[in-house]
Structure 1
Amino acid sequence: MLVNGSRCPCALQTGWFQYDHIVPAALSDDASLENCQVLCRPCHAAKTVMDVGVIARVRRMRDRHLGIADRNRRPLPGSKASPFKRLIGGGVIRRDTGERLDKRSS
């Protein structure tokens, strides 16, 4: 099946087809024949690209639900989670110590 739901026009030839999980194995533990389909290589590559995005989104949602934080994610500059605070006058201070980090002294 193609992305738009129509069938692939390619004729299956020896060596030019691959087996694929209809529902990705990373999302379900279903390794049965009912979850298997035969695709030509280009269709399998296109489906895999879509599946990778869906798998990543599902994992992010699961982690967020479980309260697992992404260790590579840094807080946005100036947000409440940031160690720095930008003042209305244009200065910058550290939230924990109140130390002024810009060149102007108060």
Structure 2
Amino acid sequence: MNYNFQTSDEHLIFHQQDGRSLRTNVVREYFKEICKRCELPMLSPHALRHTHAVHLLESGASLKYVSKRLGHASIKTTADTYLNITEKIEDDAIEKYQQYFN
């Protein structure tokens, strides 16, 4: 079957066949249904954004890169939102600091 899906010029994950973005409420309803079918807790699609940001930071991506990727106006917004969420970032920083002196 050929559905003729076009990719999104804006690199959207959820989009219509022609590449245009879906309305937020449509994505939210689809997401709720998928969570229900998979017997997962109900999460919002916005939770994916937070998860992605934390995974990027924990993997070592720079704060500047993550801030740009999320479209934040400043790095401070990203830092205030995400850096206090994960202990892994703190643990990795301490480990790198210790390795620096060894």
Higher RCO (CA 8 Å, separation ≥ 6 residues): 1
Of Structure 1 and Structure 2, the greater helix share is in: 2
TM-score (norm 1): 0.28
TM-score (norm 2): 0.29
Of Structure 1 and Structure 2, the greater strand share is in: 1
Structure ID, larger Rg = 1
